[in-house]
Amino acid sequence: MTSVSDLQKLLPVVLIWFMNFKSCLSQHEENATSRIYDYDSSVDYGEYSTICVKNLNRQFRLWFIPTFYSIICLMGLAGNLLVILTFFYFKRLKTMTDVYLLNLSFADLLFALSLPFWAANSTAKWVLGLVLCKAMHTIYKVSFYSSMFLLSFISVDRYFAIAKAVSAHRHRSHIMFLSKVSSAVIWTMALIFSIPEMRYTHINNNTCTPYSSNSDQLRVSIQVSQIVLAFVLPLLVMTFCYSRIVQTLCHARNFERNKAIKVILAVVVVFLVCQLPYNVVLLWSTVVTKNGGTDDCDYENSLLYAADVTQCAAFLRCCLNPFVYAFIGVKFRRDLLKLLKDWGCMSQERFFKYTCDRRRSSGATDTETTTTFSP
């Protein structure tokens, strides 16, 4: 049997052997680690893409998008509902522009109703399913295209009513029929141009989107068609029509001439301020996508900031259209005040004060022409 003294002699030998074994293991791990993190080795790490950190952009979206989308949604609902109620309450569908303005209010109202879903999709995970995902993108594109087309048709109608007044008067009996048919054509065209959103929209990385990535070539096709059909084409139509209208008004000697020209300028300025920055950023991001994206993280984040800010400015159109195209007209504004009076939102004295002051300031009785070239 082994004595206690023999065990005491054996214990230091075991401890020394264990310490040497542990030292060998540590040295082996260090060598392995140094080989893994040796950036001077033959491995080309430039082939591997780094992840672009977008935490600051996400934090910006968390407060910016819900705040501004809520403001736009509330103002859009209030303004467009007032336009629709005024049209139906007073049965004001008498001209082609009346029909277009009513359809424009419905389009902007639909768009405003979709904004809460856009805010949720931009700031949180999409949990409402694929059906609502497709519906949100489809409603947005249908209302977007129809609004742009209706703005173009309003300018065409005003062009014929003012610059081509004689020929427009000859076809006055067919105006209402043509306005309803053209409105149906506009909504149909908007629906057709929204087919890509219906087909390709899906849920990718907990986000509702029709695109698979920032370098998706489908994004290029959809964005180019949107820029051409919903910005360039309406801008060309409005520029031609309103420039001819201004030329016609400049040769007129009516006291409403300067007022009408100011309204035309306001219409064009609002359209450009809301749509031009967004479409410029959209065009630039489309070029970047066409070239396969960018490796510059700061540049990519700057594009995201610009897209968010200019998109909110573009979305303002749904709450500004009622004020620019409807409430600015004298007759429409008076009908709105009468509607508020009939519903008890305005006293009789205040109503007469506003309407009488407006009549005295205009210096003449209100006619169809005193609506500043709109109905």
pLDDT on residue 374? 44
Pairing of strands 207-209, 202-204: antiparallel
Which residue segments constitute the domains of the chain, with CATH numbers given?
A: 57-371 (1.20.1070.10)
pLDDT score at 21? 47
Determine the Cα angle at 100 with ends 273 and 138, to 5°.
70
Helix%, strand%, coil% for the chain, nearest 5: 80, 0, 20
Spatial separation of the C-alpha atoms in residues 68 and 355, rounded to whole Å = 34
In the three-class reduction of DSSP (H, G, I as helix; E, B as strand; rest coil), residue 204 is classed as strand
Q: What angle do CA 78, 84, 90 make, to 5 degrees?
A: 125
What gap in Å lies between CA 139 and CA 114, rounded to an integer?
7
Report helix angle 96-123 to 55-90, nearest 10.
150
- The pLDDT assigned to 256 comes to 62
Amino acid at 42: S
What is the pLDDT at residue 6? Answer: 53
pLDDT of residue 146: 95
What pLDDT tens digit does each residue of the chain (375 aa) get?
445 455 455 555 444 554 554 455 455 444 544 443 444 444 444 444 566 777 888 888 889 999 999 999 999 999 999 899 988 888 778 888 889 999 999 999 999 999 999 888 888 889 889 999 999 999 999 999 999 999 999 999 989 888 887 776 666 767 888 999 999 999 999 999 999 888 889 898 888 988 876 667 888 888 999 999 999 999 999 999 999 998 888 887 665 667 777 788 888 889 999 999 999 999 999 998 888 877 888 888 889 999 999 999 999 988 888 888 877 777 777 888 888 888 877 777 777 777 775 555 544 333 343 334 443
pLDDT digits (tens, 9 = 90+) for 174-217: 788 899 999 999 999 999 999 988 888 989 888 898 887 666 78
Using DSSP's 3-state secondary structure scheme, residue 338 falls into helix
Q: Which helix (H) or strand (E) holds 68?
A: helix 55-90
| Residue 70: per-residue pLDDT | 92
C-alpha 257/C-alpha 41 separation (Å) is 78
What is the spatial distance between Cα 268 and Cα 279, in angstroms, rounded to a whole number?
16
